[in-house]
Amino acid sequence: MANDNQARGWRRIVRAFGFSLKGLRACFRFEEAFRQEVIALIALVPIGLWLGETPVERALLVGSLLVVPMVELLNSAIEANVDRIGLERHELSARAKDIASAAVLISVIFTTLIWGLILVPKWL
């Protein structure tokens, strides 16, 4: 029997999917920001589907929402990795965490911009 690193074909895909689900569960359990973003996603996806008039608008509205938790997952992974190295304050650790946090902010700005560009002209 092959070990985890030698899995091939469908077995590798199934195992990778399992690891992905494990990561989602861990982030949901330990990261409040991720939980908040998932709640917002659940609330806003139906609104985006309803407000988008074309398939492209719907894709942009919903797709931009998915970017935020995706970037939050990466942010949380970076923070966990930095914390694993050590909890003492270090300039490079703080910089890594701040940069990852900035990526989340940019994703929120991106989503807000997409929603504004699509929806504001409809109400003006």
Which run of H or E residues covers position 49?
helix 32-51
Token readout for 100 is 């990852």
* Residue pair 31/72 in contact by the 8 Å Cβ criterion: yes
Q: How far apart are CA 27 and CA 123, in angstroms?
A: 37
By C-alpha distance, which of 108, 103, 40, 110 is closest to 77?
Answer: 103
Choosing from 37, 53, 57, 72, which is the catalytic residue? 72
Q: How far apart are CA 19 and CA 14, in angstroms?
A: 9
Token readout for 90 is 């270090």
Residue 72 annotated in active site: yes
Q: Which residues are catalytic?
A: 72
